[in-house]
Structure formats: C-alpha cells, structure tokens
C-alpha cells in the first residue's frame, strides 16, 4: 500500500521520528544516571515498547492491569510497574497472574489497597513489590506528606506477601525543587527507620528536560516523548519536526473562503485541550485554526483557507496519548513511505 492509499481519517506514526525521540531521551537519562521506564499509555504498541527497552529502558510503566496484559502477551517485556491503586478480588487475581509472568511492581497510597494486595499475595512464593505513591503537589493520587509516606512504607513492610519498593510520584510541572525536597525528606525519614528506599520514581513529559533537577529520583517515567504533540511543542519541549504522530484527514467540504471541513472530529482527535486554544496544528499551515470539532467533522478556519475538497492535511494533535487510543490500528510510515497498519494492542484497556 502506498501513502496515497491510506484511508482517512488515519493516525500516522512516523517510525524515523519515534526512534529518534526514543534515542534522544535515553541518552539524556543515561547521561544523568536516571533509569528510564517509559509509560506505554502513549503508544500501546508492544513493538515500540521493545524498541524502548532495546534502547536502554529498564522496564515499562502501565496504568491499568488490562493494559499490562495486552503489552506482555507476545513476550519480550519482562519488567512492569503499574502506577495505580489496584482494588477488588478479580483484579487482584489478574495481578497475581501477571506477577507469575513478569517482574512486577505496583503502587499504593492507602491502607485499603495495601491490605488487598497483602491478602492476595500472602500465599504466593515471591512477594509483590509495592511503592508508596506520593502527592508532591499535583493533587491527584498520593499520600500528602512525607510523614504519611513513612507510615505507609512501614505498613507495606509489615504486610505479608509484600516488599516495600520505594517511592513514586506524578509531579506538578515546573516545581522540581519542591518535588526534590519532598521526596528527599520522605526517603530520609523512611531510611531512618532502617528501611531501604530502593527506587524513587519520578515522571512526566512536560518536565522531561528538567528531570535532572530532581536528583533524588532514581528513575523517570515518561510516555508522550515517544511521539510528542502540540501541547509539548507549545510548551517549548520539542519542535514540530519531533512530532511522530499525526492525523491524516481529508477536506470534505469548503463552504466558505475562510472555512473548510475535514473528516476527523472528536472520535479521532478527541476534545483534549491541555490548556490550548484549538484542536491541533496543521502541518505547513500555521495560519489555520482547528476551530471546532464535532464527532466526525473538524472545522478549519483561516483568513484564506486555500483548500479544495479532496485535499489531505496532516494534523499534530493537542495530546497524542488519547489519540492513539481512538483507533484499532495506526499506520506506520517513514517520511511518506507507507509501511502498513499496526494494531494498537492495548487500545481501550481501561480495566
């Protein structure tokens, strides 16, 4: 199949760019003595995870059990961190099955989660590694003070079937010094209790080039960097040429001189704004605004739209991690050479 034969709307992944992104950030982590543990939520493709591992990553990060199951199904991925409080009998059974297949660690920020994990793993041969999730300012999950981290580390340490593995945080962007102080204080308090803090896992794409400003961290989790997106370009993290994922769309209507309509709407591009105006960047046409989306239509506006019905455009979406999750397959390309479709193995795995 040639590039021209790709049916639209399509999610294109340029492997040349993705591979360069993988190499560049691995080099950064290696230089700064950080272990890299990519979050696969962005691509959900086992073959790309393996490229990340081959480049030097120590393992992968997943957010949900079903996502991890899909990623390891083909083999070749042997180290998984699930950064989510796992609850409930069925999920704990699936977690035990996962633990028999790969080196597994999880996080917890509360005693109910720890008790469930302990009850499930107390009858197994090898204990489950559990990190304490820390809220260092992002106000999502996480214990909210170093003292609470110290307490939960003790609870994990005393729970049958579990091993205390360290600390994990999803940090607030741009507040590296604060994050470093928080984690350092927690580490010192826990180590004063004669417990080893083997791993301190930090992460997040917006602060990827400031990861070295949290030197207490031992590893960095990052997802978006493999593709990059408009949100990262607009924040100065990368450039348009570093964006590996684009949405290929066809102009289906040009109702006015300042307006065109494409065949991609929220069911491909999603409504994620991430603080931006508009729904994406049209490559080569910075004057165009992706002004409004409905489910299957996108409305483009420009002073002079200059597009004809049937023209194709490529859009860098605001947020790639949600876009690759919208389609059953992405189209792998190198430049404008087409390498064909690849199923998005972990798409829709939210359980």
Residue ranges that bind its own copies, judged by CB under 8 A: 5, 7-9, 41, 63-64, 84-85, 87-88, 90-91, 109-110, 112-113, 135, 139-144, 250, 252-256, 259, 261, 263-264, 266-268, 270-273, 292, 294-297, 299, 308-310, 321-322, 325-328, 348, 350-351
Give me the least distance between CB of 109 and its own copies, in Å please: 5
Give me the least distance between CB of 187 and its own copies, in Å please: 20
Q: Helix or strand or coil: residue 270?
A: coil
List strand residue ranges (DSSP E) for the chain, in order.
10-14, 35-38, 60-62, 79-82, 103-108, 128-134, 162-169, 199-203, 219-222, 245-256, 259-262, 280-282, 289-293, 298-301, 312-317, 329-334, 337-343
Residue among 27 and 87 whose Cβ is closer to its own copies:
87
Residue among 78 and 271 whose Cβ is closer to its own copies:
271
Residue among 93 and 336 whose Cβ is closer to its own copies:
93
Give me the least distance between CB of 253 and its own copies, in Å please: 4
Give me the least distance between CB of 326 and its own copies, in Å please: 7
Give me the least distance between CB of 110 and its own copies, in Å please: 5
Q: Helix or strand or coil: residue 188?
A: helix
DSSP state of 39: B
* Rounded (10°) angle between helices 65-72 and 89-99: 30
Adjacent-strand bridge partners of 220: 36, 202
Nearest CA to 35 among 155, 200, 150?
A: 200
Give me the least distance between CB of 179 and its own copies, in Å please: 16
Nearest CA to 258 among 307, 291, 309, 305?
A: 305
Give me the least distance between CB of 272 and its own copies, in Å please: 5
For the stretch 151-157, contacts whose Cβ atoms lie closer than 8 Å and that sit 24 or more positions apart, written own/partner, are 152/108, 152/109, 152/110, 152/111, 152/114, 153/190, 153/193, 153/195, 153/197, 154/193, 154/195, 155/111, 155/114, 156/108, 156/114, 156/130, 156/132, 157/195
Give me the least distance between CB of 330 and its own copies, in Å please: 12
Residue among 55 and 134 whose Cβ is closer to its own copies:
134
Residues 315/281, Cβ–Cβ less than 8 Å:
yes
> What is the distance between the alpha carbons of residues 217 and 198, in angstroms, rounded to a whole number?
10
Residue among 55 and 65 whose Cβ is closer to its own copies:
65
Residue among 241 and 343 whose Cβ is closer to its own copies:
343
What radius of gyration, in Å, describes the C-alpha atoms of the chain? 22
Residue among 123 and 295 whose Cβ is closer to its own copies:
295
Residue with tokens 């059974």: 93
Q: Count of residues for the chain?
A: 351
Residue among 85 and 184 whose Cβ is closer to its own copies:
85
Give me the least distance between CB of 63 and its own copies, in Å please: 4
Residue among 55 and 116 whose Cβ is closer to its own copies:
116
Distances (CA, A) of 191 to 154, 188, 342: 11, 5, 46
């Amino acid at each position: 199949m040639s590039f021209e034969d790709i049916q639209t709307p399509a999610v294109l992944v340029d492997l040349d760019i993705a591979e360069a992104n993988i190499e560049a950030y691995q080099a950064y982590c290696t230089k700064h003595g950080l272990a890299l543990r990519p979050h696969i939520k962005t691509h959900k493709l086992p073959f790309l995870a393996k490229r990340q591992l081959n480049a030097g990553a120590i393992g992968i990060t997943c957010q949900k059990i079903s996502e991890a199951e899909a990623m390891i199904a083909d083999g070749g991925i042997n180290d998984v961190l699930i950064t989510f409080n796992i609850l409930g009998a069925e999920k704990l059974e699936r977690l035990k099955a996962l633990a028999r297949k790969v080196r597994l660690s999880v996080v917890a920020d509360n005693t109910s989660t720890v008790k469930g994990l302990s009850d499930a793993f107390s009858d197994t041969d090898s204990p489950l590694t559990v990190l304490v999730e820390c809220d260092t300012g992002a106000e999502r999950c996480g214990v909210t003070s170093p003292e609470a981290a110290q307490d939960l580390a003790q609870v994990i340490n005393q729970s049958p079937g579990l091993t205390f593995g360290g600390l994990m945080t999803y940090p607030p962007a741009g507040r590296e010094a604060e994050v470093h102080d928080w984690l350092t204080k927690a580490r010192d308090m826990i180590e004063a209790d004669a417990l080893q803090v083997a791993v301190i896992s930090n992460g997040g794409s917006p602060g990827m080039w400031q990861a070295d400003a949290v030197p207490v961290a031992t590893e960095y989790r990052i997802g978006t960097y493999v593709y990059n997106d408009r949100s990262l370009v607009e924040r100065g993290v990368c450039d348009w040429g570093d964006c590996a994922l684009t949405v290929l769309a066809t102009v289906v209507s040009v109702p006015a001189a300042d307006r065109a309509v494409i065949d991609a709407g929220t069911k491909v591009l999603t409504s994620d704004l991430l603080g931006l105006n508009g729904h994406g960047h049209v490559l080569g046409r910075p004057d165009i605004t992706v002004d409004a989306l409905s489910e299957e239509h996108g409305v483009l506006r420009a002073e002079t739209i200059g597009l004809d019905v049937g023209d194709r455009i490529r859009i860098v979406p605001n947020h790639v991690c949600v876009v690759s999750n919208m389609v059953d397959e992405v189209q792998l390309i190198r430049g404008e050479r087409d390498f064909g479709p690849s199923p998005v193995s972990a798409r829709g795995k939210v359980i």
